[in-house]
Structure 1
Amino acid sequence: MALVIAGERSGVGKTTVTLALLASLRRRGFNVQSFKVGPDYIDPMFHQYVTGRPCRNLDAVLTSEAYVQECFAQHTQAVEFALVEGVMGLFDGVKSLGKAEAMPHAPFPMPKNDFASTAHIARLLQLPVLLVIDCSRLSGSVAAIAHGYRSLDPRLQFAGIVLNRVGSDRHLQLLEEAIEPLQLPILGVLRRQDNITLPDRHLGLVPADELTDLDAVLDKLAHIGNDCFNWEHLLPLLEKSTTDTHRNTPEKHLRLSAFICGSKSKIRLGIAYDHAFNFYYQDNLDILESLGAELVFWSPLKDSLPADIQGLYFGGGFPEVFAEELSQNSQVLPAVKQAITAGMPVYAECGGLMYLCEKIVDFEGHSWQMVGALPARAVMGKRLTLGYRQATALQNTALLAAGETVYGHEFHRSELTLLGKEGEASILDMPTPLYQAVGISPQLSASAGVMEGWISHQLHASYIHLHWGAFPEMPVRFLQHCLQFNPLSNSVDKI
C-alpha cells in the first residue's frame, strides 16, 4: 500500500506536507519512492532532492490508465515506502476525452470533470487518501469540508486528514471538536510556519537546484514531520505491501526496442540540462536509454555542443530567466543552428522552442539573441497559457506520422511573434505548422483548434510537452532518425 496526499483545493499546503513526510522518512533511514499526479515538473525536483530517487508523474491524460498502474507498480518494487502527491483539489480533473475509466461506473452522482484528478489516480491505484485542509480561516466549518470530501465518492478510502496552518492551541481545540463527530482520524497538525518558505516565480516554485539554503529548509521540514504527524497510524499506510505484483515492461516496449539491438554502437543524444533547461519527465529519459540511446547531458549556458552526437533534445525550463547568459554563449548558438540546418534530428519543447527562436524578450522588455533557427521572437507577458492539449500532426515529423493524435500539456507565459522571410537575421526557410491543436479544460471539452508548433528540416518544436510512457513509438521514430544521421559528415540519409 501507499498513501495519496490530496488537497481540498490548490494552495492548501500539499507540497509542504509531502516534503515534511518524505524528509522525515529519509531521516529515519527508509527508502521511499514518490510520485506526483499531473504534468508537474518542479514539485518532482524537490521530491527527488529529498529521496534521492527520481519522482514519477502519474497522468492518465498524458499517458493512459494502464500506464499509471504499470508505472506505480514498477517503481515501488525496491522501496519500503511510497507516497503520491496529488494535484489541485481532490476532484479537479478534466472530461474523460473518450478514454473510458477502468473503474466501474458509480451508481451515484459524480463530478463530470475528475478524469486524471487526484481522486481518479487514487481509485486506479486503490490507495487511501490523506486530505490536507487549510484551517487558517475557519474553525467549525472544517467538519463540513471534511465530511463533503469524504462522502462525495464512496469508492474512495480516506485514511484521515491533516490540519494545516493551525494558529493556536485554542484554534486546534475548536477544529478537533468539530471533527470529532465524523470519526475521521486527524493524522497531522501543522502550525503556521512563517519561517519556512520556498521562493516562487512566474511558473511556480523556483527549482530545487537553484536554492542555496534548501538543506536548511528541509531540516526544518523533517523536524516538523517528526513532531506533527501521527506516525503510529501513518507508517502502516505508507509502507508498500509485499503482495504488490511486478508489472513487466509491456511487450510493445520490447518489440519496438528491437531495432536498436543490431546497431554497432549506442546513439549519442545530446540532452540540454542546466538551470535554463530542466523540465524533463524521467520516464522519457529512461525510455530513450532503454531503446539504446547514450544520453549526453550538456549545458547551453556554458558548454560547447557535444561532439559526435546524432540528435538533440531541448526540454522546457526557464530560458527567459537566463536569457542573457544563454545569449553570451556565442559559440554554441551558431553550432546548434548549423546542426539543425544540416538535418540533425532535434526535439524541442516549450523552453527549448523559445531557445531556438531568433530572440527572447524578457519581462523587462530586454531582447536577447538566441539560436535563430526559427523565424520568431519569444516575448514574455502576463498571460498564462495553461492546460492539456489534443494535438494532431499535420505531416510526418521525426516523432509522429501525419494524422496521428497525441495528448500533451502547455504551461508558459510567452507568446511567439513571427518574423517574415525578410526578418532581422539570416533564418531558415519558413517552417511549416506542426499540429492542429485544441485545448482541453473542465469548462470546455475543446476550444477552437489552432495551428501550433513548427517543423523545419528534422526539427520538431512545440510549446506542447509530451510524455512518451504510453507511446514509445515516438522516441523509437526519433532514434531511428538519429541513427541515420552521420555526426562526422553532418549529413543525413533519406528516411
Structure 2
Amino acid sequence: MPITIPRFILAGLSGGTGKTIVSLGLARAFHLRGLRVAPFKKGPDYIDAKWLGLAADSVCSNLDPFFHTDSMLQSLLVHKSAGRDISLIEGNRGLFDGKDRHGSCSTAELARKLDTPVILTIDCTKMTRTVAAIVQGCVHFEQGLNLAGVILNRTAGERHRSVLKESIEEHTDIPVLGMLPKLKDNPIPERHMGLMSDQEYDGTDYGSEQKALDALATMAEEWLDLEAILKIASAAPATSQQVPQLFPGDPKPRNVRIGYVHDAALWFYYPENLEALEHAGAELVRLSLLSDEPWPEVDGLYIGGGFPEVFADRIAKNRGVLDSLRHLSEAGAPVYAECGGFMVLCDYLKTDDNTYPMAGVFPVGTTFCQRPQGLGYTEAVAVRDTVFFPEGGRVLGHEFHYSVCLDKEKEALDYAMRMDRGKGVGIGWDGLHVNNTLAGYNHTHALAVPEWAPRFVEAAKLFRESRDL
C-alpha cells in the first residue's frame, strides 16, 4: 500500500537568499503548532542540518543524490518520516545548481526523484516585475519539476510587496505564499562556514538559540501563509512502500565499545553514521576533547569534524586526553578521523595568533586560512587495504575546510586513498594512515560506503580480543 508523506522542499535561487532562515521559521512554527516535523537537509551540510533539528525538535537527516541511490533516497524519506505529520526538506545553493553544467545532484533533481513539490524563496532586493520573469523561467527550465509556490524575501515595504505579488499573479500561475520584510538583524548570525553553529551561539539579543528560533516562528506566522503551505505538503503524491531498509540484516549484539568525540569543538556527524555503527554491533560512548575527565576504555575511536581552531588553546592544554588518543592509536585500536578530527591528530595546529600542540599521531601540522582550501563532493579510491576500506574500494564523500595540511610531502607519510575528485590532504591524496588509524579531510556518509561501519566494528572487536589476551 502506498505511503502518504506530507512534504515539500524549500529551495532558493542561490546561496544567501534566506531559505535557511525561512526553513527554520517554518519548521519551528509547525513544531509550535503541535505538528511532528521531520526535517531534512539536501546536500552534505552539517550546520544547517543541526539548526533544522533544533527548530523541529528532531534529528535532521541529509538527502543527497550524490551519496544516495534513488532507492536509498526513498528509504531515508520513508523511514525518517515515519510517525511524523510533515516533512520539510531544505535545498542547497540554487534550485538547479549541481556538481556540473547538467545540474547533476541539484535540489531540482532531488525534488523529481522524491516527487516532492518545491516552494521557491526569492530575494527581492531592488527587484519588482523581473521576479515574475524569474518565476516563469524556473517553471519551464526543466521538465518534471512541481513548482508549487514562491516566498518573496527581503521586501522593502507594502508598495514593493504589492507590485511583486501583482506581477507574479499576472504573468504566472504560481501562488505567492508569503512576503517577508527585510530583517533588521539576523537572529542567527553567519560565519565562514555559513550559519554560526549552535555550539558557539551566544544568543545575541534573543538570550538563547531556542528564543531565536521562536522569533523566526513568529515571523513565519505573521508573514507566511502556513495553511497554504500545509495544503501543498499534504497534496504531495504517495510514495512506494517497497523501499529497502537503511541497513541490511538484523542489528548485531553490541559487543564492542566505540568512542566518538562530540563536544563544542567537534560535532560533525551524520546520524546515519552513528546508527550504522550501532547496527553493526557497537555500543557508542560519547567523549570530549574539552573535558579533563579521563576517557573510559574503548575498543575504537571515531573523531568527526568541527571547529578545533576555535578551541585550539583548550584542546592543547588538555594533554591527558590527547595522550589517551595517541596511546589508542599506537596500541592499534581502529581510529577514524574526518577533517577537524584529522587536525587534532596532527603534531600542531597554527592559527593567526599561535601554534598549538595537538595529539602527534601524524608528523604534520595544519594551519587555518581565510579562504576555503577544499570545497565540494569527493571521490576517492582506497589504494591499500585498511580496517575501514578494502583495496580498490570507492569512497564517496565531501570536503569543506579552511585549513591546509603542512609538511604533506614528507617521505614517511602513508596515504591510503587517491583522490579522483577533490583535494584531500593534498597532492591528490587523502587518508593518512598509521597503525589502524586513518585520517584526512574527506567526510563520508555510511549509506554511501556501506562497508565502512561493519569493518570498523570488526576491527574494534579484533582489537578488544587482542587486548584481552
How does the TM-score come out when normalised to structure 1?
Answer: 0.87
Residue matched to 1:188: 178
Q: Structure 1 stretches (4+) deviating beyond 6 angstroms?
A: none
Amino acid across the alignment from 1:184: I
State which of 8, 31, 41 in structure 2 corresponds to 1:3.
8
- Alignment of 1:57 onto 2:62: yes
Distance 1:485 1:300 in 2: 23
Residue matched to 2:369: 381
Distance 1:315 1:195 in 2: 32
Residue matched to 2:3: none
Distance 1:336 1:420 in 2: 24
CA 1:23/1:240 → structure 2, altered by over 3 Å: closer, same or farther?
A: farther
Structure 1 window deviating more from structure 2 (479-488 vs 55-64): it is 479-488
* CA RMSD across the alignment: 2.2
Q: 1:333-358 deviations in whole A, cap 9, x for unaligned?
A: 11111110000100000000000000
Distance 2:247 2:224 in 1: 43
Distance 1:83 1:195 in 2: 25
Amino acid across the alignment from 2:188: L
> Following TM superposition, by how much is the alpha carbon of 1:238 offset from its aligned partner in structure 2, in angstroms?
2.8
Unmatched segments (≥5 aa) in structure 2: 1-5
CA 1:81/1:251 → structure 2, altered by over 3 Å: closer, same or farther?
A: closer
- Alignment of 1:23 onto 2:31: no
Paired residue secondary structure (2:443)? coil
CA 1:280/1:247 → structure 2, altered by over 3 Å: closer, same or farther?
A: farther
Residue matched to 1:486: 464
Asked if the contact 2:47/2:197 (under 8 Å) is kept, the reply is: yes
Asked if the contact 1:293/1:479 (under 8 Å) is kept, the reply is: yes
Distance 1:305 1:460 in 2: 23
State which of 245, 249, 255 in structure 2 corresponds to 1:254.
249
Distance 1:86 1:242 in 2: 19
State which of 355, 362, 373 in structure 2 corresponds to 1:367.
355
Asked if the contact 1:37/1:59 (under 8 Å) is kept, the reply is: yes
Distance 2:347 2:468 in 1: 23
> Following TM superposition, by how much is the alpha carbon of 1:449 offset from its aligned partner in structure 2, in angstroms?
7.4
- Alignment of 1:143 onto 2:110: no
Asked if the contact 2:41/2:49 (under 8 Å) is kept, the reply is: yes
Distance 2:65 2:294 in 1: 36
Amino acid across the alignment from 1:136: T
Q: How does 1:67-466 map to 2 (within 5 A)?
A: 67-95=72-100, 112-181=101-170, 182-211=172-201, 212=203, 213-239=208-234, 243-247=238-242, 249-250=244-245, 253-254=248-249, 260-261=252-253, 266-362=255-351, 364-384=352-372, 385-418=374-407, 430-439=412-421, 450-466=428-444
Distance 2:191 2:221 in 1: 30
> Following TM superposition, by how much is the alpha carbon of 1:247 offset from its aligned partner in structure 2, in angstroms?
4.9
Distance 2:327 2:468 in 1: 9
Residue matched to 1:44: 49
CA 1:431/1:10 → structure 2, altered by over 3 Å: closer, same or farther?
A: same
CA 1:487/1:205 → structure 2, altered by over 3 Å: closer, same or farther?
A: farther
CA 1:339/1:487 → structure 2, altered by over 3 Å: closer, same or farther?
A: farther
Distance 2:413 2:25 in 1: 48
Distance 2:146 2:35 in 1: 25
Distance 2:84 2:246 in 1: 25
Distance 2:456 2:227 in 1: 49
CA 1:114/1:432 → structure 2, altered by over 3 Å: closer, same or farther?
A: same
Equivalent pairs, count: 455
Distance 1:473 1:230 in 2: 45
> Following TM superposition, by how much is the alpha carbon of 1:419 offset from its aligned partner in structure 2, in angstroms?
7.4
> Following TM superposition, by how much is the alpha carbon of 1:201 offset from its aligned partner in structure 2, in angstroms?
2.1
Distance 2:40 2:189 in 1: 22
> Following TM superposition, by how much is the alpha carbon of 1:54 offset from its aligned partner in structure 2, in angstroms?
0.8
Distance 2:468 2:309 in 1: 30
Asked if the contact 2:74/2:243 (under 8 Å) is kept, the reply is: no
Asked if the contact 1:7/1:133 (under 8 Å) is kept, the reply is: yes
Paired residue secondary structure (2:328)? helix
Distance 1:63 1:154 in 2: 22
> Following TM superposition, by how much is the alpha carbon of 1:160 offset from its aligned partner in structure 2, in angstroms?
0.7
Asked if the contact 1:438/1:449 (under 8 Å) is kept, the reply is: no
Distance 1:251 1:412 in 2: 29
How does the TM-score come out when normalised to structure 2?
Answer: 0.92
Paired residue secondary structure (1:232)? helix
Distance 1:151 1:303 in 2: 58
CA 1:252/1:221 → structure 2, altered by over 3 Å: closer, same or farther?
A: closer
Amino acid across the alignment from 2:414: T
Distance 2:241 2:291 in 1: 42
Asked if the contact 1:375/1:420 (under 8 Å) is kept, the reply is: no
CA 1:477/1:136 → structure 2, altered by over 3 Å: closer, same or farther?
A: same
Distance 1:143 1:353 in 2: 48
> Following TM superposition, by how much is the alpha carbon of 1:233 offset from its aligned partner in structure 2, in angstroms?
1.5
Asked if the contact 1:82/1:240 (under 8 Å) is kept, the reply is: no
Amino acid across the alignment from 2:360: G
> Following TM superposition, by how much is the alpha carbon of 1:10 offset from its aligned partner in structure 2, in angstroms?
0.9
Unmatched segments (≥5 aa) in structure 1: 96-111, 422-428, 442-447
> Following TM superposition, by how much is the alpha carbon of 1:305 offset from its aligned partner in structure 2, in angstroms?
4.8
> Following TM superposition, by how much is the alpha carbon of 1:210 offset from its aligned partner in structure 2, in angstroms?
2.6
Amino acid across the alignment from 1:284: N
Asked if the contact 2:417/2:429 (under 8 Å) is kept, the reply is: yes
Asked if the contact 1:308/1:487 (under 8 Å) is kept, the reply is: no
